[in-house]
């Protein structure tokens, strides 16, 4: 059973500047909810009860978002506001959320190492908050099911465009069954010709505690950062990793185009404004 999740949220978000100068990128909205709330909701729907968010200076607003808000709750406690009150109260009751500061941004691998005391001897889920994924079955749960079947660490994988692979990780894979693969090697940000395949890790990893001794030995890699991929590559080469070509619609909230795509596509589906927004968009596209 997977009870714990780690959400690394201590990056600078430079690709979404200037917005992210004072507002954490994890708080960028898709319509009316910050992206990190979708991530926490995915954990809850997948049976996870305890979540550690790795933060850094300037990210306190994330803690405020998941905290109780007595003044706001009092203000909403009147006829006609029941729905809003319920939504606001619901956010603070989602899960047990813990926070830890990564004191220096030394890379995603280092951020995960900070979670060692929290996860202890248990396998745990890592969700990258940039990757908001809408699926009928939450992607975290898709990975948990693969873990329950194969008993190995498991990464969420998807193919990326050939011209994009040098910005991602590249995986050596062999099909096991349906959309589940054995992952036997990987490389972060491969130089041209060094890629294993167009399969890359996107957004979700289920890790076993075996990762920690490896991370402790991992030297800074691509970009001078301690790369989680370099440590996961060791697990993969030891035959301890699978990958799930997950089913779901992913938005990359770590770049400006991804933020706009998420808001337009989810705006059209939104239960309050969807129909009006669709009508507006139809008129607007005629002017393009
Ligand atoms: P990214 O490299 O995509 O995030 O790291 P970033 O550094 O915030 O983005 P840019 O490139 O400057 O725009 C992937 C994930 O790892 C976290 C980030 O918050 C993001 O969720 N991370 C990265 C950490 O928690 N600590 C780090 O030292 C580095």
Query: Mean pLDDT, to the nearest integer, of 2-14?
Result: 96
The Cα 173–Cα 226 span in angstroms is 23
Query: Residues 184, 172: contact at Cβ < 8 Å?
Result: yes
pLDDT band at 255 (very low <50, low <70, confident <90, very high): very high
Classify 4-287 by CATH class. Answer: alpha beta
For the chain, the C-alpha Rg in angstroms (whole number) is 20
Question: Ligand 1 mean position to 265 CA, how many Å?
Answer: 25
Beta bridge partners of 133: 250
Chain-wide mean pLDDT for the chain?
Answer: 96
206: exposed, middle or buried (Cβ count in 10 Å: 0-12, 13-18, 19+):
buried
Query: Residues 153, 160: contact at Cβ < 8 Å?
Result: no
**Predicted local confidence at residue 168, as pLDDT:** 93
The Cα 160–Cα 172 span in angstroms is 14
**Predicted local confidence at residue 195, as pLDDT:** 95
Quick check: CB of 106 below 6 Å from ligand 1? yes
Quick check: CB of 24 below 6 Å from ligand 1? no
Quick check: CB of 242 below 6 Å from ligand 1? no
pTM of the model: 0.96
For residue 110, give the ligand 1 atom closest to its CA: 28
Quick check: CB of 202 below 6 Å from ligand 1? no
Quick check: CB of 203 below 6 Å from ligand 1? no
Residue owning the nearest CA to atom 18 of ligand 1: 11
The DSSP string of 66-130 is: HS--HHHHHHH-STT-HHHHHHHHHHHTSSEEEEEE-SS---HHHHHHTTHHHHTTS-EEEE-TT
- Counting every residue written for the chain, the total comes to 288
Question: Ligand 1 mean position to 287 CA, how many Å?
Answer: 37
């Amino acid at each position: 059973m997977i009870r714990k999740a780690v959400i690394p949220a201590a990056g600078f978000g430079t690709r979404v500047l200037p917005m992210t100068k004072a507002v954490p990128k994890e708080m960028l909205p898709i319509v009316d909810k910050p992206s990190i709330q979708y991530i926490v909701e995915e954990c809850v729907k997948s049976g996870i009860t305890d979540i550690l968010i790795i933060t850094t200076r300037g990210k306190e607003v994330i803690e405020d978002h998941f905290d109780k808000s007595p003044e706001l709750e009092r203000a909403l406690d009147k006829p006609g506001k029941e729905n809003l009150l319920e939504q606001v109260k619901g956010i603070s009751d989602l899960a047990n959320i813990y926070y830890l500061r990564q004191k220096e941004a030394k890379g995603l691998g280092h951020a995960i190492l900070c979670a060692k005391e929290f996860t202890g001897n248990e396998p745990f889920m890592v969700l990258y908050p940039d990757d908001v994924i809408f699926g009928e079955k939450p992607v975290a749960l898709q990975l948990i099911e693969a873990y329950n079947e194969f008993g190995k660490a498991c990464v969420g994988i998807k193919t990326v465009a050939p011209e994009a692979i040098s910005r991602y990780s590249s995986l050596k894979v062999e099909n096991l069954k349906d959309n589940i693969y054995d992952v036997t090697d990987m490389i972060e940000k491969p130089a041209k010709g060094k890629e294993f395949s167009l399969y890359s890790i996107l957004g979700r990893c289920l890790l076993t505690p075996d990762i920690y001794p490896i991370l402790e030995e991992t030297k800074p890699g691509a970009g001078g950062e301690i790369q989680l991929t370099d440590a996961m590559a060791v697990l993969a080469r030891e035959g301890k990793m699978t990958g799930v070509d997950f089913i779901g619609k992913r938005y990359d909230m770590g770049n400006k185009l991804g933020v706009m795509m998420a808001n337009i596509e989810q705006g059209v589906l939104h239960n309050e404004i969807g129909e009006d927004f669709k009508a507006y968009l139809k008129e607007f596209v005629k002017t393009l």
